[in-house]
């Protein structure tokens, strides 16, 4: 059921984000196109997502450049790619709890849209864009830092976000576990399919969803990697 962005819930989300966002921009940032189309073509969050993507990239680049003078260009590019990836942004969105506030169409609700990596990542970028318009560049940069710093503090987590399947294979080998095995199912019409993946290595099972088989497998691999990375 769609969340209603009440004054109370708005304050709750603003506190989690650490910034005050204009109420109309906040509602817009949380509005997925599926909801907009089902309600007569309302505005949705894709323009804010476009803006937020630019702010995210710039702020992350500057942060990496200034904090890590020891990184060469290739390492800077690799670290940036990790923390701004769809998988990484979705993980940050789950940490904040953004999924509970989304305004989704019925189809997305029924296919687990509140936990889809693509929707969560896009909404995170839209919230960054809304912050930029509401409170300016400094506030938006601060929000970006709060989103990406937990990833930057753990390089292995960044590597897993960039290439979770390889990271899972490596940790499974280190723990002398069987090679990961993937199984993927799909639901929905051809133009709007949702893929659900399961990966198994030993007794560890990871689950993930996505808009393609590849994305679902990556999400499942990251889920299993998290389960195994603290072992051994």
108 assigned binding-site residue: no
Asked if residue 185 and residue 104 are part of one domain, the reply reads no
Within this chain, do residues 30 and 119 fall inside the same structural domain, yes or no? Answer: yes
Q: What residue numbers bound the domain in which 148 lies?
A: 7-153
Which pLDDT does position 93 carry in this prediction?
93
Residue 190, pLDDT score: 80
**193 lies in some domain:** yes
User: What pLDDT is stored for residue 88 in this prediction?
Assistant: 87
- Into how many domains does the chain fold? 2
Domain check: are 106 and 19 in the same one?
Answer: yes
> What is the predicted pLDDT for the residue at 63?
96
pLDDT of residue 4: 52
Residue 183 belongs to some domain of the structure:
yes
The pLDDT tens digits for 44-81 are 999 999 999 999 999 999 999 999 999 999 999 988 98
Cα–Cα distance measured from residue 120 to residue 45, given in angstroms and rounded to the nearest whole number: 12
State pTM to two decimals: 0.80
Return the pLDDT at 191: 76
125 is in an annotated binding site: yes
In-domain check, residue 99: yes
| Residue 120 in tokens | 């969560």
The domain boundary, picked from 153, 175, 190, lies at: 153
CATH for 176: 3.30.160.20
pLDDT at 27: 92
Virtual torsion, Cα 19, 20, 25, 31, nearest 10 deg: 60
Residues 149 and 178 in one domain: no
**Same domain membership, residue 93 and residue 53:** yes
**Measured between alpha carbons, how far is 95 from 32 in angstroms, rounded to an integer?**
20
| 2 domain residue, yes or no | no
Pick from 108, 135, 153: which residue ends a domain?
A: 153
CATH number for 124? 1.10.1520.10
Dihedral angle, C-alpha 95, 101, 107, 110, nearest 10 °: 60
Considering 153, 173, 189, which residue would you say is the last residue of a domain? 153
Assess whether 133 and 206 both reside in one domain. Answer: no
Annotated ligand binding at 49? The verdict is: yes
Per-residue pLDDT tens, the chain, 232 aa: give them. Answer: 455 556 677 778 888 999 999 999 999 999 999 999 999 889 999 999 999 999 999 999 999 999 999 999 999 998 898 889 888 898 899 999 999 999 999 988 888 889 888 899 999 999 999 999 999 999 999 999 999 998 888 878 778 877 899 999 999 999 999 999 999 999 888 877 888 999 999 998 999 988 789 989 998 998 999 899 876 4
Considering the domain architecture, whether residues 125 and 32 belong to the same structural domain is answered as: yes
Q: Would you please indicate which residues are annotated as catalytic (active-site) residues?
A: 53, 125
SS (HEC) of 52-91: HHHHHHHHHHHHHHHHCCCCCHHHHHHHHHHHCCHHHHHH
């Amino acid at each position: 059921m769609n969340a209603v962005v009440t004054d109370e819930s708005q304050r709750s989300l603003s506190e989690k984000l650490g910034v005050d966002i204009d109420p109309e921009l906040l509602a817009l940032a949380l509005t997925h196109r599926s909801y907009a189309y089902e309600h007569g073509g309302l505005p949705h969050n894709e323009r804010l997502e476009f803006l937020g993507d630019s702010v995210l990239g710039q702020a992350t680049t500057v942060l990496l450049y200034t904090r890590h003078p020891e990184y060469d260009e290739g390492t800077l590019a690799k670290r940036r790619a990790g923390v701004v990836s769809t998988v990484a942004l979705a993980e940050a969105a789950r940490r904040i709890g953004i999924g509970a506030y989304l305004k989704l169409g019925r189809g997305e609700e029924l296919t687990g849209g509140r936990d889809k990596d693509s929707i969560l990542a896009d909404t995170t970028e839209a919230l960054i864009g809304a912050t930029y318009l509401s409170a300016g560049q400094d506030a938006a940069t601060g929000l970006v830092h709060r989103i990406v710093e937990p990833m930057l503090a753990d390089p292995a987590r960044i590597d897993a976000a960039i290439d979770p399947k390889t990271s899972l294979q490596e940790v499974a080998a280190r723990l002398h576990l069987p090679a990961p095995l993937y199984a993927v199912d799909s639901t929905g019409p051809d133009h709007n399919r949702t893929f659900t993946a399961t990966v198994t290595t030993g007794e560890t099972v990871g689950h993930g969803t996505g808009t393609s088989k590849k994305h679902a497998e990556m999400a499942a691999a990251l889920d299993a990697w998290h389960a195994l990375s603290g072992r051994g």
